[in-house]
Structure 1
């Protein structure tokens, strides 16, 4: 994939699924709550499981505005977080960053960007410059993010 512009939710979801399937080392996902992404689908969870099982160095980082939908509708991803807790982390955007409108899934091979949460318009790209900009934005937001309101069971 070099660069593909999309205008509808179905193409957005299919590009997300393709990026998840192609990821081999890392997955950084910035979204409102994952509700419109298809993250709860079995095929997408299987792609994340494949990534996490492929290497001890693989990592998944979810950065969300709100985690309520995730805890309610993504049991497969929650199971993966319980199994691969050392490599699967969730954080919530800080209040200072709550107005961040862009959503994206960044892997080691590509990025799928949605320009605004109210429109399905965006792009899927493997261009290095686009990926670098998203990486810089994600890392900055990640540093200021907070732990989720709910979390992993400690089994105490």
Structure 2
């Protein structure tokens, strides 16, 4: 259970790549708008397609989906192609003050940014005890959300 600290965009993306490539069953993601996650990049498209190819399920929660709709057409195609395995939700006003950001893979891997405006954070792999609090928090946030993006988003 080694802590992998990072404080740059490249460091965050490298740790996120590790989490996405290790996950097989579940991914739970929370961020203000996923603007820095590069979910629409060719690399993440390939990692997520491999994940969905194994039957993995993605739960994504954001305060706003506007940046995904505007900047991530590949992710919208994933949503269209694998909509049965992806659920995107949006927080209500009461949760808009939450500023952290994290991705949990299979309940064993976590990449966490301490504040969504900055890249400083940490990652743990093969460390279920390090993901427990984030998963509990994610489930609490999830109960206070409403449906977000759907596979039929056209961007028009």
Normalized against structure 2, the TM-score is what? Answer: 0.90
2:49, 2:16 → 1: CA distance? 15
2:67, 2:129 → 1: CA distance? 32
Aligned to 1:7: 7
Could you tell me how far 1:89 is from its partner in structure 2?
0.9
Normalized against structure 1, the TM-score is what? Answer: 0.90
2:41, 2:150 → 1: CA distance? 21
1:40, 1:92 → 2: CA distance? 19
Q: Stretches of 4+ moved more than 4 A in 1?
A: none
Task: After TM superposition, list the pairs within 5 Å mapping 1:67-146 onto structure 2.
Answer: 67-108=65-106, 109-126=108-125, 127-146=127-146
How many residue pairs get aligned? The number is: 151
Residue 36 of structure 1 aligns to a residue whose secondary structure is coil
Aligned to 1:43: 43
Output the aligned Cα RMSD.
1.6
Could you tell me how far 1:35 is from its partner in structure 2?
1.1
1:128, 1:107 → 2: CA distance? 10
1:8/1:120 contact within 8 Å kept = yes
Aligned to 1:62: 60
Task: After TM superposition, list the pairs within 5 Å mapping 1:8-27 onto structure 2.
Answer: 8-27=8-27
2:101/2:114 contact within 8 Å kept = yes
Unmatched segments (≥5 aa) in structure 1 = none
1:2, 1:86 → 2: CA distance? 34
Unmatched segments (≥5 aa) in structure 2 = none
Decide which moves more: 136-145 or 32-41.
Answer: 32-41
Could you tell me how far 1:74 is from its partner in structure 2?
1.3
1:77, 1:16 → 2: CA distance? 16
1:129, 1:100 → 2: CA distance? 23
